[in-house]
Structure 1
Amino acid sequence: MTDATKTQGRQAFTAEKQPPFALAGVGSIAVVSAIALLASAGRYGFFGDELYFISAGRRLAFSYADQGPLLPAIARLMDLLAPESLVAQRIPAMLVTVAAVVISAQIAREFGGGRNAQLLTAAAYATSPFLLVQGTQLATNTIDTALWVLISWLLVRWVRTRRDALLLWASLVTALDMQVKWLIPFFWFAIAVGVLLYGPRELLRRPALWAGVALVVVVTLPSLIWQVAHDWPQLRLGGVVAAEQASVGGRYIWLPLAIASAGLLGGLLLIYGIVALFRWEPLRPYRFVAPLPLLLTVAFIATNGRPYYAAGCYAVIMAAGAVRWTAKTSRTRTIVNATIIVASVALVAFSMPWRPESAIEPAKSETDAGLSIGLYGRFGWPELAEATAAAYRALPEADRAHTVIIAESYWQAAALDVLGPADLPAVYSPSRGFGYFGTPPDAATTVLWVGNSEAELRPLFTSVTLLTHAGAPLGYPGASRDVPLWLGTHPITPWSQSWPTLQHL
């Protein structure tokens, strides 16, 4: 085929008229999704990470040990607008999740899908137990997933239109996503492999693409400098995540959980979409997307990543599956669609946090707690703050002037930092990102230590005394698991020397 023939074919393809956008239908799905998210926004309490984002936002930096600066900045903004408001903190998550529902339908439209395909795609996204339910709390994966969906739409639209401005927009969104977490390079690497295998290879020759790469590097540079200065903690965190995953099944449960997180309708469209992208000729221009979920699966299983790491690619694959499935219509397919959608709605409704707190039973094991930490991590923080405040106020007044609080985990420290009363002293923790927020002063001769065991604290102080126990959600709801509150006096080694050895991710 000559270059002229290729150009003519591309022009014919890009000039093809798009189907109209199913505004009423997709809009209705988005509105229902928004109502469901808003109705659940005030349920239970802050998730541990949400408290941590607020704490990090009060200490704004170019980067953090375990994330980029975007989530702390968002949390800080919402905390300024509505201090300690649970609903306010979750509004950004709700907005980007609903936007992703709409954009997923737009991807189906770019593929040439009509009204039915767009509605099916939006319904699949909105009934995914992970994709929708993650909109109930502010989390890195919530923002990261939505940005992947947006990048996918911009990329697919570029293939249809060849408008290079779309590549610059995709680069800008990528640069923004790098301020959340560093997973998006996996997406682009998989896309590059797909383009080399199936085209359009001209994508890799576009100056706009490489200008966008430069933009991403420039925007990410301050974070990279921070990471270099602190010995790359965000990269070292990968080993910590891998160990955590291994403790709950790791690689053996990755694929089942990844597919299950897409939901019933979404899971079926995922599988069907991969096949359609590889084999269906009308989707041939987009075949480079087909290896995307497969390569991501291999990468994240190999690195023992979390099952939801690849969720950002679900929308584009589900859209392809929906377009292929709705290319033919029949009474049987209509019945099948309706049945699966009803079942999917029931499944996601069951997954939403509707149950009253009193109806939630404690986890039966540490493994169950780890798998359901998104639920159990929302309980017990006010009780922990109240118990810690009471223990501090019970100290002799002379000791309080030289007292600080140190918590075993960054969640505990964030809860005390955000929910604790104003008269509490400074809160520190050697755990994860909180360990980089500051070192206890050497003048702190009395420490109210939250968590850990006596054996772990004895080497640090000349005297260690158990004061009381406080409830905290270490994998369990409410105050059903006790956390010890210790009083440590007269540190053996100055904090400026011992703190670096205590810090851990």
Structure 2
Amino acid sequence: MGGAGGLCHTRAMGIRGNAPAGGGAVRAGGPAAGLPRFAVGPVLGIAAAVVAVQAALAGRYGFHRDELYFLAAGRHLAWGYVDQPPLTPLLARLSTAVFGTGPAGLRAVAVLLCGATVALVAFAARELGARRAGQVLAAAGAAVSAMVLALGHMLSTASFDLFVWTVLGVLVLRLLRTGDRRWWPVIGAVTGVALLNKDLVLLLAVALLPAIALAGPGPGDDGPGPRAVLRGWWLPAGALAALLVAAPNLYWEAVHGWPQLTVASGISDQDGLTNRLTFVPMQLVYLSPVLVPIWLAGFRRLRDDERVRWARPLGYAYLVLCGLVLLLGGKPYYALPPLLLVLAAGCEPVAERRWERPRGDGGGRGGGTRRERVRLVGLLLVAALVNSLITLPVLPAGRLAAVSWIYPESAEQVGWPELVAAVGAGWAQVPPEQRGRAVVFAADYGEAGALVHYGDRYGLPAAYSGHMSFYDWGPPPDSATGPVLLVHPAPYPQVERAFTGCRQVAEVDNGRGVANEEQHAPVLLCTGTAAPWSRLWPRLRHFY
């Protein structure tokens, strides 16, 4: 990944010097001018440090509910699921096959993606002209941001999204900087891979293409500006590449009635108002308030600095993406990956003021005073400490209340073995002669995933659920007339009404006093079902 190879080599894709092959003329000294050397040592050192910290902490608490669902989905590999394309469950299966079935093994892929994302943000800064200090600042800023730390700790669809969107950002910057339209098929192929993970990348495309089209020449420039890259047949070729890569999942979606649209609509209906009200503050929190000045410097630079006017679509696209997410009521983190690219744009001017010699200065000391440099490093360390305490399993589990009100996902990593133990206690009350026709049913995919993963310890049978894709993996046979061991029905009263003669036989206690959705959940033992499973099953499906 150094300056002498990969996508950052100025001879890649036929580019030599200032003349892009096949991509339209670019003036000498323009955006295709030579890039600074890549700061291989410090950037990879920062990425390696993040990987080491994440790996050391990966198994300290336990699985997240979504991870347990991905593990179960990985046992039912398909070209799609009702709430996601196939890539993350496939990664879960591959990661556990290579690194082990515990939390650390599952998260190994997320940890590696985290380190790669840190290095890619430095690549983006280099594309924008950042020298050594600017690249290092970009890597450090990404490494201490809450979003990178959080998504590097757990395997989720957002973990791969952050990585692949950053890859796309670097590729688009290379496209805009060089004007070489032959990057479009590469961008299309990567977009297709992103579509195999999550459809959200379509929002990025919807935001980016108009932003490029609207970015005309700068003052005093008679050239076509960034919009020239939209001409010709390379862009349609890129769209075709994306379609071909994503085609298996798109076919699966069409055959199954586009269920992901139903899930997305439910998220907007259920949480849309909250998502809109928290959108702006969460952008700052996920990044880190400490990094906001660098982020704002990136916006100012993209707007005012003629040396990077070719990259202005990047800033426009982020703003359009924010508008789309607000309009749709999506979750605030949907717009986060381009935020890192805007941050990368601000690193060079900040570093120039603090460390580097100003451009054109033939000698003298670097910009900024020693106090300013120490202050910047201190702020980055503060951000690292605060964001690590919030997003990583640093605190004892019993002290999670101090941070889980900010980041509830931390509490959802505690108590799953204890939940299955409570179900095991309920199962012990089922008479042995009735166990052949008994069923264990969970109302939530996290609980069902925990029963699948830990159930063998207590001799539990296969777990069933009507939540998300667990529904598609089938109902129990009609011969399974009961008893039914029912887990966590409180938020789903319609679930309990499907069974008869229910009484509580156990209660979940994670043993650490952590308040999460499963703490104190009841385990009910029901005598049977209100109707055969084949008739009940459609009533038990739910997406939320």
Going from structure 1 to structure 2, the CA distance change for 1:316 and 1:10 (only over 3 Å counts) comes to farther
Distance 1:294 1:455 in 2: 41
Structure 2 counterpart of 1:90, which letter? R
Distance 2:514 2:241 in 1: 44
* Correspondence for 2:130: 113
* Correspondence for 1:320: 345
1:210 aligns with 2:247: no
Going from structure 1 to structure 2, the CA distance change for 1:458 and 1:272 (only over 3 Å counts) comes to closer
The Cα of 1:32 is off from its aligned counterpart by 1.7
Alignment of 1:284-433 (within 5 A): 284-328=309-353, 329-331=367-369, 334-351=373-390, 352-361=392-401, 372-421=407-456, 423-433=459-469
Going from structure 1 to structure 2, the CA distance change for 1:499 and 1:142 (only over 3 Å counts) comes to same
Q: Percent identity?
A: 30
Going from structure 1 to structure 2, the CA distance change for 1:159 and 1:412 (only over 3 Å counts) comes to same
Distance 2:347 2:402 in 1: 40
Alignment of 1:242-253 (within 5 A): 242-246=268-272, 249-253=274-278
The Cα of 1:58 is off from its aligned counterpart by 0.3
The Cα of 1:243 is off from its aligned counterpart by 4.3
Going from structure 1 to structure 2, the CA distance change for 1:491 and 1:221 (only over 3 Å counts) comes to same
Q: Tell me which moved more, 205-214 or 86-95.
A: 205-214
Gap runs ≥5 in structure 2: 1-22, 216-224, 354-366
* Correspondence for 1:3: none
Distance 2:469 2:153 in 1: 23
Structure 2 counterpart of 1:81, which letter? V
The Cα of 1:190 is off from its aligned counterpart by 1.1
Find the partner of 1:175 among 192, 217, 226: 192
TM-score (norm 1): 0.91
* Correspondence for 1:486: 524
Distance 1:25 1:308 in 2: 28
Distance 1:406 1:362 in 2: 33
SS in 1 for 2:522: strand
Alignment of 1:30-69 (within 5 A): 30-69=47-86
The Cα of 1:346 is off from its aligned counterpart by 2.9
Distance 2:153 2:73 in 1: 20
Task: Please list the CA deviations of residues 53-84 of structure 1 after superposition, one character each: whole Å capped at 9, or x if unmatched.
Answer: 00000001110111111110111112333552
Distance 1:410 1:463 in 2: 24
Distance 2:301 2:339 in 1: 14
Task: Please list the CA deviations of residues 61-117 of structure 1 after superposition, one character each: whole Å capped at 9, or x if unmatched.
Answer: 110111111110111112333552211111100111111111111111111111111
Does the 8 Å CA contact 1:68/1:181 hold for their aligned counterparts?
yes
Task: Please list the CA deviations of residues 123-145 of structure 1 after superposition, one character each: whole Å capped at 9, or x if unmatched.
Answer: 11011012223201111111101
Q: Tell me which moved more, 51-60 or 257-266.
A: 257-266
Distance 2:137 2:120 in 1: 13
1:504 aligns with 2:504: no
Task: Please list the CA deviations of residues 409-433 of structure 1 after superposition, one character each: whole Å capped at 9, or x if unmatched.
Answer: 1100000011111632121111123
Structure 1 counterpart of 2:409, which letter? G
Does the 8 Å CA contact 2:142/2:340 hold for their aligned counterparts?
yes
Going from structure 1 to structure 2, the CA distance change for 1:437 and 1:373 (only over 3 Å counts) comes to farther
Q: Tell me which moved more, 405-414 or 424-433.
A: 424-433
Gap runs ≥5 in structure 1: 1-5
Does the 8 Å CA contact 2:495/2:540 hold for their aligned counterparts?
no
Does the 8 Å CA contact 1:264/1:340 hold for their aligned counterparts?
no
Does the 8 Å CA contact 1:260/1:267 hold for their aligned counterparts?
no
Distance 1:496 1:480 in 2: 28
SS in 1 for 2:77: coil
Does the 8 Å CA contact 1:472/1:478 hold for their aligned counterparts?
no
Q: Tell me which moved more, 409-418 or 320-329.
A: 320-329
Going from structure 1 to structure 2, the CA distance change for 1:16 and 1:173 (only over 3 Å counts) comes to same
Does the 8 Å CA contact 1:127/1:265 hold for their aligned counterparts?
no
* Correspondence for 1:270: 295
Task: Please list the CA deviations of residues 165-200 of structure 1 after superposition, one character each: whole Å capped at 9, or x if unmatched.
Answer: 532222222111111111111111111111111142
TM-score (norm 2): 0.85
Distance 2:530 2:461 in 1: 21
1:449 aligns with 2:475: no
Distance 1:250 1:494 in 2: 40
How many residue pairs match? The answer is 493
Distance 2:341 2:292 in 1: 13
Does the 8 Å CA contact 1:255/1:297 hold for their aligned counterparts?
no
Distance 1:335 1:483 in 2: 50
The Cα of 1:333 is off from its aligned counterpart by 5.0
Distance 1:8 1:256 in 2: 43
1:495 aligns with 2:533: yes
